Amino acid sequence: MLFSEHDKIIFAGDSVTAAGRALPAGEGLFGAHGNGYVSYIAGFVDAVYPWMDLRVVNRGISGDRICELAARWQTDVLDDSPDWVAVMIGVNDVWRKFDSPHMRESHITTEEYRMTLTRLIEETLPKVKGMILMTPYYLEPNRSDPMRAELDERGAVVKELAEKYALPLADIQAAFDSFLKHMYPAAVAWDRVHPNYIGCALICKVFLDAVGFDWKGGVV
């Protein structure tokens, strides 16, 4: 596994990451990690690798686009001195174009997304052991659907930057595409974005596979 003993991993993103997490920082008791995929990841790393004493921190904020994430990056991510940073962002950048079509000032182009994510990566890598990039997703099997097509553009950017900077990639959209051959999207996310326990478990698995988690190792 990529992580070493006592590493701190910060998860940065939007509501899919936040999932009701505690403020100001999502860690600690009483469901502080939220009820989403971050809590699943925290549970598995502690259950299977308890001696590693990994520290998982949820810094997702509901509604964030890449610009809001960038605005709080210093205080919410870098100032917290993480060893690793995992990022999944992009669905709101696209969603605002479709649910608020007249508010053009809130629309984020693919190029703006690329430039901002590139800047965050370049600012962060000198200060951490590494980053894990996660593709944003939309649970729509029809790839010609306008929102799905635009999310795919963002996903392509994430994959491009993961390759450019040699970063681990968790391709969440690809995993859901395979999954949705067997189950209808509404059974996983009522709005095709916010996952239930099934979707959270799938995101967790894809992330842990990307970081080399040994499902057969550990204490169980």
The pair of structure tokens assigned to 114 is 């690329």
Q: Round the CA-based radius of gyration of the chain to a whole number and report it.
A: 16
79, 99, 191, 214: the catalytic one is 191
Q: Is 191 a catalytic residue?
A: yes
Q: Is 214 a catalytic residue?
A: no
Burial class (CB in 10 A: 0-12, 13-18, 19+), 165: middle
Q: Is 182 a catalytic residue?
A: no
The pair of structure tokens assigned to 140 is 């729509």
Sequential DSSP letters for 51-103: GG--EEEE---TT--HHHHHHTHHHHTGGG--SEEEEE--HHHHHHHHHSTT-
15, 39, 83, 152: the catalytic one is 15
Which residue in the block uniquely carries the two structure tokens 């690793």? 84
Active site (catalytic) residues:
15, 191, 194
